[in-house]
Chains A and B, each alone.
Chain A
C-alpha cells in the first residue's frame, strides 16, 4: 500500500481509538542508535516468550 493511503488508514484508526499514534522521538532519531543488552546465564528471551523452538 502506498505511504499516503497507509497514513490515511492509520490516522482514521487513531481517531476511533483503535490505535494510538506516537511520533518518532526527535532525540532518539537524532541519536539513531538501538540500545541493546546482553543477559548473563544464557537466558533466551525468545524461548520464554514464544515457546520452545
Chain B
C-alpha cells in the first residue's frame, strides 16, 4: 500500500486548497503548544498565498473541548481570567468564557477563503470505510473522508495516522517523525 505523501511547510508549490485538522489549528492558536512557531508561520504562508481552507464543522466542537478544559481548570489566558465577573450566574459566566475561546478560532478562520464541510450520511459512510481500511480514529477518518469527498487531498495535520492513507498529501513539516524519534 502506497502511503500518503508527506510535505514540509516550505515545500513548493502550495496547493490551491487545504483541509485543516484540529491539531494544526490548536498549535497555531496556542502559544504554549510545542509546534506553535512553525505552524503559525505556515498559517501565514497559506494566508499570503490565498490558499483556500476547508474544515469539518466538527473543528469548532474539537476546539471547544480543549477550551472547556482550560476554563474548568481556571487556566484561561490572564487577560481573560482577569476580566471582572459581570454576572452572578455561573452558567452565563462560563458561556461568556466559552464564546471568548470560540472567537480565537473564528478570527483565525476568517483570514481565509474557506469552506465548512458538513458531515452527511455519504461522508460518514466513506469515513467508516477509511476507518476500517487504514485503522484510523473516527475523527481522523472523517477528515480524510472530507478530503476525498471534496477532492482537496492536501491535509494539514500533525497526526501520524494520516500518513497511512493512500492518496493524501499531508503537510506536517516532519513533526510526526520528530515525535516518534523523541519517544525512541
Is A45 in contact with B26, judged by CB distance below 8 angstroms? yes
Point out the residues of chain B lying under 8 angstroms from A13, CB to CB. 115, 117, 149-150
Count B interface residues, CB 8 Å.
Answer: 57
Point out the residues of chain B lying under 8 angstroms from A7, CB to CB. 16, 52
**Within 8 Å of chain A (Cβ to Cβ): is B112?**
yes
Is B73 in contact with A43, judged by CB distance below 8 angstroms? yes
Cα of A28 to Cα of B150 in the assembled complex, Å:
26
CB distance from A15 to the nearest CB of B (A): 12
**Within 8 Å of chain A (Cβ to Cβ): is B27?**
yes
Count A interface residues, CB 8 Å.
Answer: 38
CB distance from A14 to the nearest CB of B (A): 7
**Within 8 Å of chain A (Cβ to Cβ): is B134?**
no
Is A32 in contact with B111, judged by CB distance below 8 angstroms? yes
Point out the residues of chain B lying under 8 angstroms from A10, CB to CB. 17, 52, 54, 115, 150, 152
Is A40 in contact with B77, judged by CB distance below 8 angstroms? yes
A10-B52, A14-B115 as given contacts; A19 in contact with B69, CB under 8 Å: no
Cα of A35 to Cα of B110 in the assembled complex, Å:
11
**Within 8 Å of chain A (Cβ to Cβ): is B177?**
no
Docked complex: A1-47 residues within 8 A CB-CB of B: 1-3, 6-7, 9-10, 13-14, 17-25, 28-29, 32, 34-46
What are 25 A-B pairs at a CB distance below 8 A? A1-B16, A2-B16, A9-B150, A9-B151, A10-B115, A13-B117, A18-B150, A22-B110, A22-B114, A23-B113, A24-B112, A29-B111, A32-B111, A34-B28, A36-B30, A36-B104, A38-B30, A39-B32, A39-B70, A41-B74, A42-B75, A43-B70, A46-B66, A49-B62, A49-B65
Q: State the A residues within 8 Å of B (CB).
A: 1-3, 6-7, 9-10, 13-14, 17-25, 28-29, 32, 34-46, 48-50, 53
